[in-house]
Amino acid sequence: MGQINLGRVILGGLLAGVILNVGEAALHGGILAEEARAALTALKPGFQEHPMYMAMLVALTFVQGVMAVWLYAAIRPRFGPGPKTAVCAGLLVWFFSAVYAAVYLHAGTAELFPAKIVWLPVGWELVEFPLATVAGAWLYKE
């Protein structure tokens, strides 16, 4: 087993992060924007989004992309290089980020948010994470 090429992990992770951020912007800035704003305003009248909030989300989404490609690189010696291994890595990152967050937000917070706002992203990201990880893994070389 060789060493993980961290430069290529970061390069592939940044590509994966771009794909994830574009997908998240389409989902949360477009498809769910009005419903999410209404839900947040209902919980906290006069709600105003803090300017750093979006910057933190974008940065953390890039971190998710890097972590997905790092996981791909880590499991690649055991499962072999290629899209199948990248999909496995993407699904694992999806589970530990999207599924956990949705269960916490919907069940753990007494259903404060409508189900669509919580569960649509889980389905969306079920496609988004594996695709982004496959793209990032395409750039990875040991």
- pLDDT by residue for the chain (142 residues), tens only, comes to 579 999 999 999 999 999 999 999 999 889 988 888 887 787 778 777 788 988 999 999 999 999 999 999 999 999 999 999 999 999 999 999 998 888 877 776 666 777 788 888 999 999 999 999 999 999 999 8
Residue 81, exposed/middle/buried by CB under 10 A (0-12, 13-18, 19+)? Answer: middle
Contacts of 120 (CB under 8 A, 6+ apart): 27, 31, 32
How far apart, in Å, are the Cα atoms of 92 and each of 12, 31, 49, 99, 123? 17, 25, 30, 10, 14
Neighbours of 43 (CB within 10 A): 10
Amino acid letter, 42: A
Here the tokens at position 34 are 């009005």
Instruction: Give CA–CA dist 59/134, Å, rounded.
Output: 20
pLDDT score of 119: 87
Enter the pTM of the model. Answer: 0.89
Instruction: Give CA–CA dist 59/38, Å, rounded.
Output: 25
